[in-house]
Structure 1
């Protein structure tokens, strides 16, 4: 969370804000509480206090703790998906595209707000609405990667999707491990290692329509 957002999160009670600004303020406060305490230990009282508002104001925007959590989860799932799509569209060089996609996951997990914990490490994964959102964003990210693999290799969609799921899973698991392990490996070095690993695998599939592809046919 930025310094501006943190300032908003401790705004004194009674300050009137436009509805959208108030909602964003509440989401920022909720993120801090949920990341620090987990869903089950967090209380609406804690969130209201962190936001500097009364509980009635909080309930005007979110009818309950679950609805607040889901709104926050939707926001951060969309952020991850946008980052992956942006990375895939950032270049036509496939090795650089792999590196950019890895970097998108690292940047997401490295964010100081800890939003990735709500998506990848939630203590509420048994809640169907949470599970559905987490599974959906993983699928959407994989589908975005799948489109590129299928277009470039000519592999059937089912096979491309299998590879895409693997690339996405490796990216987020390694990024989370890197953060949990205290970033002992320099970030650029970590990205380089992961990119080399994944690129050497995916590069084994020739470009669709290339001379190598024609020779293998």
Structure 2
């Protein structure tokens, strides 16, 4: 949390905070100007530091670039791996994978530009091609099993995996700048072509399943091949911890379940920006988006709305020792601190807490 002194100046960032800030600033500049076009002077000026500070953290511009690339590589690889690793049929997995890539492009545009444009010096063959190769191996495994169940040669799964991944990747690169139609519509058309083929194209295809692991929107006849599915809310949630390792649980007015502070994204906001704003509005605390630890994404049922799922950006933040305590504000009616193990014993938690965050914390 950032506090101001009597003179109005902000305290010095910790090393971790400064490193995160430099990575965030550099990501935007590398995406805009490329590796060669962005200079250390540009990065230092945008971050409000001197050049030696950048060198102290990363050694060189190439070192900083490699750090940014690795973060985005791992982020996108995780998103795609999770979309392909659920226990579901191949059509569902194709839907989820197509949607997951477009969702990443929408929310991490700068990262995708970097991955698809410049190869880092340490990986001249290209980061994006390396990532696609790893994803293709997963798709090949999925298709080989499907072909085997249909009496077809499993060996051709590798060839079809290349075709499918290449089609989705090229469409994603096109959609990076086009952004129309929306990602769900583009994903539906991708699946329409890959699953139905040119001879069986549907005029107005829809995603028949939730574009996330484990949650399907089934059609009225129960076959999972139609229907628009539940409503999806995009929001951010923050796991607030204190220096004793406890986590903060909040309950919103008119509801019965405890959850994390957070709320819906406003137009033009990133997940991190929404998370920082919600901490201020709901708890009266000041935190910068760059100070939040990115815990990834989660799809699942909403805690208090029927037939509704949430597409959540997850973050963590530790309340510095000696800082003011959070206070219930806005729509928060009750808050309490609890050790993770004690929280896990409760039966009045949101699915996000009980099914994802607490199991992850308790390991």
For the pair shown, the structure with the greater C-alpha radius of gyration is 2
Shift of 1:70: 1.2
1:146 maps to 2:143: no
- The separation in 2 between residues aligned to 1:113 and 1:94, in whole angstroms, is 27
Unaligned runs of at least 5 residues, structure 2: 2-8, 198-363
1:177 maps to 2:174: yes
Which residue number in structure 1 is paired with residue 130 of structure 2?
136
1:121 maps to 2:112: no
Residue 95 of structure 2, aligned match among 96, 99, 105: 99
Return closer, same or farther for 1:130/1:108 CA change in 2, 3 Å cut-off: farther
Which residue number in structure 1 is paired with residue 35 of structure 2?
39
Shift of 1:34: 0.6
- The separation in 2 between residues aligned to 1:147 and 1:116, in whole angstroms, is 25
1:187 maps to 2:201: no
- The separation in 1 between residues aligned to 2:93 and 2:36, in whole angstroms, is 39
SS in structure 2 at match of 1:185: coil
1:71 maps to 2:71: no
Return closer, same or farther for 1:126/1:56 CA change in 2, 3 Å cut-off: closer
Shift of 1:113: 4.1
Which residue number in structure 2 is paired with residue 88 of structure 1?
84
CA deviations 1:92-111 (Å, max 9, x no partner) are: 13211110000111112222
Give the aligned CA root-mean-square deviation in angstroms: 2.6
- The separation in 2 between residues aligned to 1:196 and 1:13, in whole angstroms, is 53
Normalised TM-score (structure 2): 0.47
- The separation in 2 between residues aligned to 1:16 and 1:187, in whole angstroms, is 37
Return closer, same or farther for 1:16/1:128 CA change in 2, 3 Å cut-off: closer
SS in structure 2 at match of 1:40: helix
Greater relative contact order, per chain length (Cα 8 Å cut-off, separation 6+): 1
- The separation in 1 between residues aligned to 2:51 and 2:11, in whole angstroms, is 12
SS in structure 2 at match of 1:115: helix
Return closer, same or farther for 1:135/1:172 CA change in 2, 3 Å cut-off: closer
SS in structure 2 at match of 1:53: coil
- The separation in 2 between residues aligned to 1:63 and 1:158, in whole angstroms, is 46
- The separation in 1 between residues aligned to 2:153 and 2:63, in whole angstroms, is 39
Which residue number in structure 2 is paired with residue 55 of structure 1?
51
Q: How many residues align?
A: 188
Shift of 1:14: 7.4
Residue 15 of structure 1, aligned match among 12, 15, 21: 12
- The separation in 2 between residues aligned to 1:147 and 1:83, in whole angstroms, is 18
Deviates more, 1:130-139 or 1:169-178: 130-139
Which residue number in structure 1 is paired with residue 273 of structure 2?
none
Unaligned runs of at least 5 residues, structure 1: 5-11, 202-217
Q: Which has the higher strand share?
A: 2
Quick check: 1:146–1:160 contact (8 Å CA) kept in 2? yes
